[in-house]
Each structure stands twice: as C-alpha cells, then as structure tokens.
Amino acid sequence: MLGTQQQAFVPERRQGMRIHAAAAVILLLSGGGILFAASEWVQGSLFVLWMMLLLAIVVFLPWVLYRWYALRSAVYLLERDGLRLRWGLRSEDIPLTEVEWVRPAAESGYHVPQPLFSWPGALLGTRHVPELGDVEFVASDMAHLLLIATTHKVYAISPQDTRAFVSNFQRALELGSLSPLKAHSARPAAFLRQVLQDRLAKILLPLNLVLCILLWIFAGFIVTNSQTLPMGFSPQGLPLERVPSEQLLLLPVLGSLVLVMNVVMGLYFFRRLEERMVAYLFWLGGVITPVLLIVAILLLSSAN
C-alpha cells in the first residue's frame, strides 16, 4: 500500500546525459581551438568573425550545462496526497484532487508532438494539442512518455518505470488524499525575479553587465583607432612585439566568459541561504575582472 510513503521515480537519463556531456565537450574544444587559432595566426576581419563565434559558444555553453544538471537532478515524487515534479529550477506540486487521469501517451489515442528545440534528455516546453489543450513537457524521452491530465492543464513526464508509476498512481487515486498538497509552481524566471529582489544582487549583477559592455566599448574604440598594439610588457616594463590590434578583442571575450561563469555559479549558490555569501563573492569577481581588463587595455593603448 502506498500510504503516506513518498516514492521517487527518475526519468531516463543515460542517453540525454551523454548527449549533453558530448555537446559541452565539443563546445569547450571548439572554444579552445578558436582561442588558440585567434591568438596565433588569424587576423583581420576573420579574427573578428571568430571572436563572435567564440562569444556565441561562451553564451551557449552554460545553457547546455544547465540542461545536463537539470536532467541529473530530475525526479518525480509520488505520494498519496499528490505529485511533485522537480527538474532543475522547475518545480511543480500537483494535488491529487486535481488529477483527472494518467495514461501512457502511446495508449492515449492523441498525437502529442515533442516541444520545439528539444532533444533526448531535454523535452521541455509546451505544445498545444487540439484535443488536450496545452501540454507541458517535463520529460527526457518520448518512449516513456506519460500524460497526466489535471483540471488546469496536461503534463507530460517520462519515468523510467512507467508501469510501476501508473500502478502506484492509480492506487493513490483509489485510496484518496488525506491532506492534499498545496498547488505550487516555480519556474526559472520566478527564481531570477527572487534573485533581483536581493539587496546586493540587484547592485552586483547589473554592474557585472555594465562593466562587461564598457570593456567591449573600450576594446572596440582602441581597435578602430590603432593598426597594431603590443599585447603585453616584458619583465623590464618594455612593450612586447606589436601585433594586429584586432587581437585586443581577446580581452572582452575572456571578460564575457568570466561574466557568464560568475553569474551562473553565483545563481547556483544563491539557492541556499547559507551559501549566498559565496554567490556574492562570485558576482564581486564579475565586477573586479572587467575593471582589471579595462585597466590593461588603457595601459596597452598608452604604450601605442
């Protein structure tokens, strides 16, 4: 008997985690290769193009890593009083009294297409199905897809052991709820709003972004007004060999990489109240780094 015991069901993870890990490795190797090539022999307009590609990798990589983390931590918690869905920063508590039916998608008689921009391990988002209305996916693969119809919407989940999940869910429905869960929904956007309501975060995070933009502006101004620049100084304080000024764009790209890493790591630690000081330190690092890089650009331009 299910009783008041909570049962945890996990989605199919193996294929999705491999895909996300492979994508992260490819992005890291590609970024490293671009950075090496740009610093060694790429020049002119091609250098600028490669910097833009490297910047795109810097922005896209945290998104891939977050989806890997979300899949790794994903779980469906079933109890007599309802169902709790956990997927990264996404959480949903569904009272048992709101559930109308649960059945495998393949046996439902409905054609349920997977969300746009999804792949194995990350079937996330909402699709409209004429017979069902909006179907919200919190799933990893279509083979194990289950539909849970509630009074408000339909959820699509993918527990590994679909038969055990359906069996236990039906048993919970038959037993009835003693004290229904309080309906609750939390999304990443709501978490970000909570972050920006924090007194220090709403100062440090915008400052991170503004300083990174200023870093790009300073670097762009120097590049457009100089043909060549020294990219450092010798131990004696003398400028090194001059190189094409486009290579100065390496500094704002690195600054953007630090910005993304500090913001993401800060958000990770901000979730727990006892670890928020670590988050503030990461975001403070996001302030110090572009300031130091701007100083470096000014020193290099003064040696021009």
Q: Residue 150 — pLDDT band, cuts 50, 70, 90?
A: very high
The residue with greater pLDDT, 175 or 8, is: 8
Q: Which helix (H) or strand (E) holds 5?
A: none
Between residues 235 and 95, the one the model is more confident about: 95
What is the DSSP annotation of 233-276? Answer: B-TTS-B--EEEGGGGGHHHHHHHHHHHHHHHHHHHHHTSGGGH
In this structure, which long-range contacts are made by residues 170-178, counting pairs with CB atoms below 8 Å and at least 24 apart in sequence?
A: 170/102, 171/1, 171/2, 172/2, 172/78, 172/79, 172/80, 172/96, 173/96, 173/99, 175/1, 175/2, 175/80, 176/96, 177/80, 177/81, 177/82, 177/95, 177/96, 177/97, 178/4, 178/80, 178/81
Cα(290)–Cα(260) distance, rounded to whole angstroms?
12
Structural domain harbouring 232? 187-304
Does residue 294 carry a pLDDT above 50?
A: yes
Answer whether residue 39 is part of any domain: no
pLDDT value of residue 59 = 84
Residue 40 lies in a domain: no
Mean pLDDT of the chain: 86
| Mean predicted confidence (pLDDT) in 138-143 | 92
CA distance 205 to 216: 17
4 band by pLDDT with thresholds 50, 70 and 90: low
Question: Residue type at 142?
Answer: M
Amino acid in the structure at residue 73:
S
Q: How far is CA 7 from CA 98, 137, 168, in A?
A: 19, 21, 9
How confident is the model at residue 54, as a pLDDT?
A: 83
Torsion of CA 96, 76, 149, 141, to 10 degrees: -170
In a domain, 121, yes or no: no
**What does the pLDDT look like over 40-80, one tens digit per residue?**
665 656 777 777 888 888 889 889 999 999 999 999 999 88
Range scoring the smallest mean pLDDT among 67-81, 184-198, 230-244, 281-295: 230-244
Q: Is residue 193 part of a domain?
A: yes
Examine residue 239 and state whether it is found in any structural domain, yes or no. Answer: yes
pLDDT at residue 21, rounded to an integer: 94
Q: How far apart are CA 96 and CA 98, in angstroms?
A: 5
Tell me: the pLDDT tens digits for 158-169? 999 999 999 998
Question: Residue 243 corresponds to which tokens in the numbers above?
Answer: 């190189």
Residue 285 pLDDT: 94
Least confident of 43-52, 99-108, 240-249: 43-52
Over residues 31-46, mean pLDDT:
71
Higher model confidence: residue 229 or residue 25? 25
Residues 62 and 4: their CA atoms lie apart, in Å, by 38
Evaluate whether residue 217 is within a structural domain.
Answer: yes
Whether 64 is covered by a domain: the verdict is no
In the prediction, which pLDDT does 257 show?
87
pLDDT of 1 over the 50 cut: no
Angstrom distance (rounded) from CA 52 to CA 29: 16
Overall number of domains in the chain: 1
pLDDT confidence tier of residue 304, bands split at 50, 70 and 90: low
> Per the domain annotation, does 301 fall within a domain?
yes
User: Which one is predicted more confidently, 29 or 246?
Assistant: 29
